Amino acid sequence: MSVIYVLLTISVTVALFFFIAFIVSVRSGQYDDSYTPSVRMLFEDELVKKGDTSKEKRTKINPTK
Amino acid sequence: MDKVSCYHCGDPCGNTKVVFDNKTFCCNGCKTVYEIFSDHDLSYYYDLQQAAGTSPAEIEGKYDFLDTPAIAEKLIEFQDGRMAIINLYIPNIHCSSCIWVLENLNKLNPQVLNSQVNFPKKTIRITYNRDSLSLKELVILLSRIGYEPYLSLEDLGKTTKSKDRSLIYKLGVAGFAFGNVMFLSFPEYFDIKEAQAADFWLTEYKTFFRWLMFAFALPVVFYAGQDYLKSAYKGLRARMLNIDVPIALGIIALFTRSTVDILFDYGPGFFDSLTGLIFFLLLGKFFQQKTYAFLSFERDYKSYFPIAVTRLLPEGGEESVQVYQIEKGDRLLIRNQELIPVDGILISPKTHIDYSFVTGESAPVPKKSGDKIYAGGKQISGAVEMDVLKPVSQSYLTQLWSNAAFHNQHSSEFRTLTDRIGKRFTLAVLSIATTATIFWLLTEPSMALNVFTAVLIIACPCALALAAPFTLGNLLRIFGNRKFYLKDTDAIEQLAKVDTAIFDKTGTLTKSNKEQVTYEGIVLNEDEKSLLVNTLRASNHPLSRSLYNLLADHDIITLDEYEEIQGKGLSARADDQQIKIGSAAFVGKNEDEETGKTVVHISANETYKGCFVFRNEYREGMSELFHKLSEQMDVAVLSGDNEGEKTRLQNLLPKLTPLFFNQKPEEKLEFVKSLQEQGKKVMMVGDGLNDAGALAQSEVGIAISENVNVFSPACDGILDAGKFGELDSYITASQKAMGIIKWSFVFSFIYNVAGLYFAVSGQLEPVIAAILMPLSSISVVGFTTIATNYVGRRLK
């Protein structure tokens, strides 16, 4: 079999893989809410930091804000 | 005193300031929320965004109905033995702090297993342990921290409908195939002459490449492009030449010509143009679909009515009952601020009912025992009992929704500019194609079919079909950024054509919660003022309440005597001071009262002092708006209220503006209808349920809303009240947008003429089609986007 067929099969398979990945992600509702996850992502960082700092330190930060 | 704002909600703290933990709060409610948050280690809420909170509302007894299993079951989305999942709509969600605190609900109550906020939709999805946390407790928990869910009759019987994502799938399919076909057809763009062809590598794989393209084109035509084929078929059956007819003709011509071409080895076919065309068209459709997830344009009374009310059992005791299950003869208990769900007869001695949302009357209506009370009013004086006369579906208000205006989709009658052009376009294309074919049949018959299909292919109105979606879709976004939310792009086209504007008064021209009060008469001294305020304090009458809230605060003094006489007024005495507040006759003023005005008279120590006159406060820019609008269209005011404001409105509005008062909801609808029968294009601007009929009947119904998250009736657009004065500039922008579309039609015609030259002369190569089609589409899209942005920038 010529190499062209092999190459084409590979390229179409890769394209199909991404296409199916796209359909699956749309179906799972990933694009229904495109805003909240972007905010939520930032919280988790802050939360970890918060866990490390002591309570007194935190109350000190509050009034400055 | 400096203006101190509440640490929790940011509202200015009045005299009722509460200090706690070195922080000031505007009310005890806000303080409590702060306490809850700081006790549970959630004070990060305030770090994230300052003064993010909302003060919690009174909830005493409000959610008792959630303990009724039948009601709870209908609200819960999913439940098994131990846990339940519920989706709640919380209008208060407005910032990142809200998301954070709501997603950390399990810190407040460990029985909440998981909570996830959808910010654009303002909903929260909560998974909780149903054995140890009831739905009522969950809702109360949310309400206590200032996130009260909005539960209405609409939530009952709501079927969880799956979201329609087919357009995204189609776009995905078309885009995927388009990209691949472009790759595969690339080698064909190099014009290989027969002589060289023998030793060129492509010749060997030509058939394979072409059939692969054919395979990619199949799902594009029959899945992604099916809407165009269907719509064209429907249009033809209804004897209407819409824009989809030439598009479908183009798609069919492209597909069959290409298939025949590769089958008989005439050429590579036009699969690249075909997939590109459908991809661009779907892209336009996608762009046009701007939806505001947090708004609903389809609401009826159901989203305004409560789910359940309290029914008093004949043998004593109370129970929560679903509004739909209320029957004639039931006795209901309506608490303060609750909505009356059905028509009935008042049993309690007296009450006041606020009908402003339903009828447009601005002042609360007093009712006494035995009076008929209609559904939709808000009961605003303590708890009252009533007997039911009619079930909910037959009540006076809900009858309005059985009117035909709510059932026929007036958009189907409306033909867009594109469709109207599409008709002439199709006729032109078909006649050119036929003439060219006849010409070639006479000169060189073998070319005839080639030319015929080439004309159909090149004339496929891709750019034409993209002009409107991109112009209007972009304008829709620009309007949305300026707080004017339209349902769809058709609404812009309709808006551009409006020649009559009808306005409701209460809540539309006037601010819904603010009344201007002016005092006329002898100035009161300090003692009298203090007595006045303290007397008002004791009264529950709506006028007393609003007057009390407006007057400056005074020290609380003990009244020695206090009497409230139903329908007349108040009298009170403290030390040697005596005061009477109420109607003219009651305070001893002999003059006839002016009708229609809301006036509270005052007399102190038996001498007449003066009166407070309540006036509606009109929105800023109302007068200017009417003057500007009246230059280009007819304007009128249609109010459900009495004539009390007539002279004042006449002074504010342009001369001879027709003013109609005491209009019932059906009368408003009929009024709009009669104007339409005269051939007018009517824009109705309203706010309440009483305008719902007129909003549905009019070409463009615009609801004015002070808070776009709360209820507004079904309409074509929602305008933020703060932008009321800008309404005329939105109309002008819509008209300009229609001009932009017409200009882009001119552009796309030029491209078509250039393409037709190749087609008619029989020299249409696939590569020319592949260049011309995207080029025309992209230039039209670019032109419309730049032009609408320019128009948008000129908006304030």
Are B180 and A36 an interchain contact pair (Cβ–Cβ within 8 Å)?
no
Cβ-defined contact of B180 to A12 (cutoff 8 Å):
yes
Say which range, B202-206, B346-350, B431-435, has the weakest mean pLDDT. B202-206
Query: Between A39, A42, A58, which is nearest B119 by CB?
Result: A39
The average pLDDT across B605-632 equals 82
Q: What SS3 state is found at B656?
A: coil
Which of B43, B118, B163 lies nearest to residue A36, judging by beta carbons? B118
Task: Please determine, for residue B464, whether its predicted confidence score (pLDDT) is greater than 60.
Answer: yes
Predicted local confidence at residue A63, as pLDDT? 38
Q: Is A28 on the interface with B (CB under 8 A)?
A: no
* Sequential DSSP letters for B289-358: ----TT--S---GGGTS-SEEEEE-TTS-EEEEEGGG--TT-EEEE-TTPBP-S-EEE-SSEEEEE-TTT
Q: Give all strands of the β-sheet with B112-118 in edge-to-edge order.
A: B78-79, B83-89, B123-129, B112-118
Alpha carbon B613 to chain centroid, angstroms: 35
Output the six-digit token pair for B569.
Answer: 């007024």
**Residues whose CB falls within 8 Å of the CB of residue B755, separated by 6 or more in sequence, listed in order:** B458, B459, B764, B768, B769, B772
Interface check A38 vs B, CB under 8 A = no
CB-nearest to A62 from B46, B163, B165 is: B46
The chain B residues in contact with chain A (CB within 8 A) are 22, 43-44, 46-48, 50, 96, 99-100, 103, 116-121, 163, 165, 168-169, 172-173, 176, 179-180, 183, 204-205, 208, 212
Please give the pLDDT value at position B709: 62
| Residue-level pLDDT at B596 | 55
**pLDDT band at B411, cuts 50/70/90?**
very low
pLDDT of B737-776, one tens digit each? 999 998 988 888 888 888 888 888 877 777 888 888 888 8
Question: How far from each other are the two terminal CA atoms of chain B, in whole angstroms?
Answer: 36
A48 pLDDT more than 50: no
| Helix, strand or coil, per DSSP, at residue B155 | helix
- What value does the mean pLDDT of chain B take? 80
pLDDT at A30 over 90: no
Residues B153-184 have pLDDT tens digits of 777 655 555 567 888 899 999 999 999 998 88
Q: Is the pLDDT of residue B195 over 60?
A: no
Tokens of B492: 């812009």
**Which chain A residues are within 8 Å of B121, Cβ to Cβ?**
33
> pLDDT (tens digit, 9 = 90+) per residue, B277-306?
899 999 888 888 766 666 777 666 777 777
Mean pLDDT of B548-566: 72
pLDDT at A56: 38
Tell me: pLDDT of B602 over 70.
yes
Burial class (CB in 10 A: 0-12, 13-18, 19+), B422: buried
Paired tokens of B368? 């006494």
The per-residue pLDDT for range B232-287, each reduced to its tens digit, is 898 888 887 778 888 898 899 899 989 998 888 888 888 988 999 899 999 888 88
Q: What local confidence, expressed as pLDDT, does residue A59 receive?
A: 39
When divided into structural domains, chain A yields a total of: 1
Residue type, A42: L
* pLDDT at residue A54, as a whole number: 39
Domains and CATH numbers, chain B: 1-44 (no CATH), 64-151 (3.30.70.100), 166-291+418-470+736-794 (no CATH), 301-400 (2.70.150.10), 476-511+619-735 (3.40.50.1000), 512-618 (3.40.1110.10)
Best residue in B97, B100, B124, B181 for a mutation probing chain A (most A CBs within 10 Å): B100
**Each residue of B328-356: pLDDT tens digit?**
888 888 877 778 888 888 888 878 887 77
CB-CB contact of B299 with B714 (8 Å): yes
